[in-house]
């Protein structure tokens, strides 16, 4: 047997964690210096009352415009106030202003971006429209108008500034979510019956949180700049000490006491630079670790109609006159044209055809998982003799219906251990404790032929091979004891030795549990190996339905004969080879 490990398994805690972008940014010298500067400024702001040698308003009218020394390290201003104390209290109000801008823009932009990116539809359209409208507003003019007509409070101005910056978070989060929502592991989570809220929390937020942190650092720098700019123009609150306010006052006395411009200018410059540098270090850390994730491309082919053959109502699954189209109604293209499929409990049915014939879309429609733009335009799907709606099928996923996808690796979330990805659906559907779910998961991994299952439970997907990942997905698909299992090309991505083992495993599990198995494949070897009946699809229609023995002995349709000829040309099927003792 081929070794299925691609990397040594961990002996204890796994070492790989995607969430450590901040730590990686701190390993970059510029990131570290910027991080230290931010921590220092924040600490000074928080403990201003303890650190500042004088009160913010404490003045000594006998000591005006001093340059430094004798109890006033950096001198005094025109009102005899201590410059160091003004800088310390100024840090507090400047950071509060920046925090308001960041907080408001995140509060508005992140949830709306998540919803627009994840669900799309009208919310996305309206969200994009509002976001573009806000971006088109001249920010500084809005702030000046707000101050003149509504409130002179700097905090309120920063709140409005936060709203003006919300589109940056909205667009960022929306784009990030759109790039992961069609990932196979997100589909796999849906299949496991995981709720949308949980999918967003576990799978989507983990991907968007690092860009959000970067954006927050950039917005903080921008907030500091805008606030200081407004205060410098004399539009701040004169009763609240801030760096912008100090700059304004210093500028008016620049020829008498240039240090009044120097120190607040330096504090502001260093803090803004620290936030900007830290954002850059975060971005570099993210670029280092993130590989692009693109959804698999669907094949394309033109669809034409064809007639279906042989009908018998399936007691477990019965698909009738299923039609699937992509595109907007009125301008859509039908890719599946009235397909009928029946599957009895305890039997294995193959859905075979060349690439683009509509096998996968038929299976996905049965699961309720058609990709965006695809919809069922006609037909019905019955499970256990009962018609089931799209919503009902989605509820059955992961429990009554299991799904084994084509690409094992892409269907596991790289951010979570194998164990946590197996345990979650078991806990949810079987209503068992974490430890019970964990022992079930270990037993399942053992059953699907994984050596050292406990160590694999603690591994991340990148630490196991494709063959092992497929075994994990099979374990996950049967973990909640489904009665119907749908497998889409479950062996295509694997090497030949492992393909045979996976097929044996599937057949074994199907027989043990009496499941009905619908297996999508383009490989007649797979059909010969494990199927009882087979449907042949061409151009979105079923052209032949036979028992496997009859299909191989006497194929009726020219297309089946051509497919069989092409498939057996390169060698005989495994079953034939076994029969002939080869």
Tell the burial category of 414 from Cβ atoms under 10 Å away from its Cβ (0-12, 13-18, 19+).
middle
Helix (H) or strand (E) holding 460, with range, is none
- Binding of ligand ATP by 565 (CB under 6 A): no
- Binding of ligand ATP by 131 (CB under 6 A): no
- Binding of ligand ATP by 360 (CB under 6 A): yes
DSSP-derived 3-state class of residue 543: strand
**Cβ proximity to ligand ATP, 300 vs 435, nearer residue:** 300
The span of 76-84, 251-259, 268-276, 359-367 binding ligand ATP (CB under 6 A) equals 359-367
Rounded to a whole number of angstroms, the distance between the first and last alpha carbons of the chain is 18
Strands 348-352 and 374-383: unpaired
Binding positions for ligand ATP, 373-392, rule CB under 6 A = 373-374
- Binding of ligand ATP by 299 (CB under 6 A): yes
> Which residues share a beta bridge with 376?
324
- Binding of ligand ATP by 366 (CB under 6 A): no
Other Cβ atoms closer than 10 A to 207: 21
**What is the rounded CA–CA span in Å between residue 49 and residue 88?**
9
**Cβ proximity to ligand ATP, 98 vs 381, nearer residue:** 381
> Which residues share a beta bridge with 542?
537
Considering only 97, 167, 241, 353, the residue that binds ligand ATP (CB under 6 A) is: 353
Whether the CB-CB separation of 280 and 30 falls below 8 Å is answered with: yes
The span of 199-207, 296-304, 375-383, 461-469 binding ligand ATP (CB under 6 A) equals 296-304
φ and ψ of 534, to 5 deg: -145, 140
DSSP-derived 3-state class of residue 397: strand
Largest CA distance in the chain: 111
The span of 31-39, 134-142, 299-307, 557-565 binding ligand ATP (CB under 6 A) equals 299-307
- Binding of ligand ATP by 452 (CB under 6 A): no
- Residue of minimal CB distance from ligand ATP? 360
**Cβ proximity to ligand ATP, 4 vs 523, nearer residue:** 523
| Helix extents (H) in 65-204 | 83-119, 121-136, 139-149, 154-181, 184-191, 196-199
φ and ψ of 384, to 5 deg: 55, 35
> Which residues share a beta bridge with 519?
350, 487
Other Cβ atoms closer than 10 A to 291: 7
Count of residues in contact with ligand ATP, rule CB under 6 A: 19
Among residues 127, 141, 120, 121, which one has the least CA distance to residue 170?
A: 127
- Binding of ligand ATP by 335 (CB under 6 A): yes
The span of 265-273, 294-302, 421-429, 498-506 binding ligand ATP (CB under 6 A) equals 294-302
**Cβ proximity to ligand ATP, 71 vs 299, nearer residue:** 299
The span of 4-12, 258-266, 357-365, 430-438 binding ligand ATP (CB under 6 A) equals 357-365
**Cβ proximity to ligand ATP, 11 vs 300, nearer residue:** 300
Whether the CB-CB separation of 78 and 314 falls below 8 Å is answered with: no
DSSP state string for 15-37: ---TT-HHHHHHHSHHHHHHHHH
**What is the rounded CA–CA span in Å between residue 459 and residue 535?**
39
Other Cβ atoms closer than 10 A to 321: 12
Compute the least distance from the CB of residue 171 to ligand ATP, in Å. Answer: 24
Q: Which value, to the nearest 10 degrees, does the dihedral of the CA atoms of residues 42, 45, 49, 53 take?
A: 100
**Cβ proximity to ligand ATP, 63 vs 375, nearer residue:** 375
- Binding of ligand ATP by 522 (CB under 6 A): yes
Binding mask 314-333 for ligand ATP (x = CB under 6 A): ------------x-------
Compute the least distance from the CB of residue 319 to ligand ATP, in Å. Answer: 14
- Binding of ligand ATP by 405 (CB under 6 A): no
- Binding of ligand ATP by 350 (CB under 6 A): no
- Binding of ligand ATP by 301 (CB under 6 A): yes
Compute the least distance from the CB of residue 94 to ligand ATP, in Å. Answer: 50
Binding positions for ligand ATP, 46-85, rule CB under 6 A = none
- Binding of ligand ATP by 300 (CB under 6 A): yes
- Binding of ligand ATP by 358 (CB under 6 A): yes
Binding site for ligand ATP (CB under 6 A): 298-301, 303, 326, 335, 353, 355-361, 371, 373-374, 522
């Amino acid at each position: 047997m081929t070794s299925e490990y691609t990397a040594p398994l961990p002996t204890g805690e796994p070492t790989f964690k995607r969430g450590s972008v901040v730590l990686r940014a701190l390993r970059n010298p510029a990131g570290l210096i910027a991080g230290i500067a931010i921590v220092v400024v924040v600490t000074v702001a928080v403990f201003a009352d303890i650190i500042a040698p004088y009160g913010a308003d404490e003045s000594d009218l006998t000591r005006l415009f001093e340059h430094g020394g004798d109890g006033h390290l950096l001198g005094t201003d025109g009102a005899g106030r201590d410059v160091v104390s003004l800088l310390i209290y100024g840090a507090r109000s400047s950071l509060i202003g920046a925090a308001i801008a960041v907080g408001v823009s995140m509060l508005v932009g992140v949830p709306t971006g998540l919803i627009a990116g994840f669900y799309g539809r009208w919310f996305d359209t309206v969200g994009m429209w509002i976001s573009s409208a806000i971006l088109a507003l001249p920010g500084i003019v809005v702030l000046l108008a707000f101050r003149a007509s509504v409130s002179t409070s700097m905090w309120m101005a920063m709140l409005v500034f936060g709203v003006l910056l919300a589109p940056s978070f909205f667009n960022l989060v929306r784009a990030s979510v759109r790039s992961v929502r069609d990932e196979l592991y997100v589909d796999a989570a849906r299949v496991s019956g995981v709720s949308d809220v949980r999918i967003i929390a576990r799978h989507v937020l983990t991907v968007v949180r690092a860009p959000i942190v970067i954006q927050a650092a950039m917005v903080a720098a921008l907030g500091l700049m805008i606030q200081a700019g407004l205060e410098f123009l004399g539009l701040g609150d004169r009763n609240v000490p801030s760096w912008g306010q100090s700059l304004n006052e210093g500028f008016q006395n620049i020829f008498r006491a240039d240090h009044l411009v120097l120190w607040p200018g330096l504090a502001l410059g260093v803090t803004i630079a620290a936030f900007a540098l830290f954002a850059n270090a975060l971005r570099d850390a993210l670029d280092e670790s993130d590989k692009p994730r693109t959804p698999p491309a669907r094949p394309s082919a033109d669809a034409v109609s064809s007639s279906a053959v042989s009908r018998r109502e399936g007691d477990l699954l019965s698909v009738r006159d299923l039609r699937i189209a992509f595109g907007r109604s009125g301008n859509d293209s039908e890719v599946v044209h009235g397909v009928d499929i029946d599957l009895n409990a305890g039997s294995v049915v193959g859905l075979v055809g060349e690439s683009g014939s509509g096998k996968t879309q038929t299976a996905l429609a049965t699961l309720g998982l058609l990709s965006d733009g695809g919809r069922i335009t006609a037909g019905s799907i019955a499970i256990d003799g009962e018609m089931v709606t799209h919503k009902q099928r989605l509820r059955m996923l992961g429990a009554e219906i299991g799904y084994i996808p084509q690409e094992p690796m892409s269907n596991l979330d790289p951010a979570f251990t194998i164990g946590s990805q197996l345990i979650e659906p078991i806990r949810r559907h079987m209503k068992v404790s974490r430890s019970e779910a964990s022992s079930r998961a270990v037993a399942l991994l053992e059953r699907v032929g994984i050596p050292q299952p406990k160590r694999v439970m603690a591994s991340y997907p990148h630490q196991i091979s494709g063959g092992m990942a497929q075994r994990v997905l099979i374990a996950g698909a049967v973990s909640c004891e489904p009665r119907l299992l749908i497998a889409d090309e479950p062996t295509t991505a694997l090497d030949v030795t492992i393909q045979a083992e996976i097929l044996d495993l599937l057949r074994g599990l199907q027989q043990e549990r009496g499941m009905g198995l619908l297996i999508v494949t383009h490989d007649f070897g797979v059909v010969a190996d494990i199927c009882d009946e087979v449907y042949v699809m061409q151009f979105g229609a079923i052209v032949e339905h036979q028992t496997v023995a009859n299909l191989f002995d006497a194929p009726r349709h020219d297309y089946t004969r051509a497919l069989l000829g092409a498939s057996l040309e390169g060698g005989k099927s495994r079953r034939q080879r076994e029969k002939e003792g080869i």
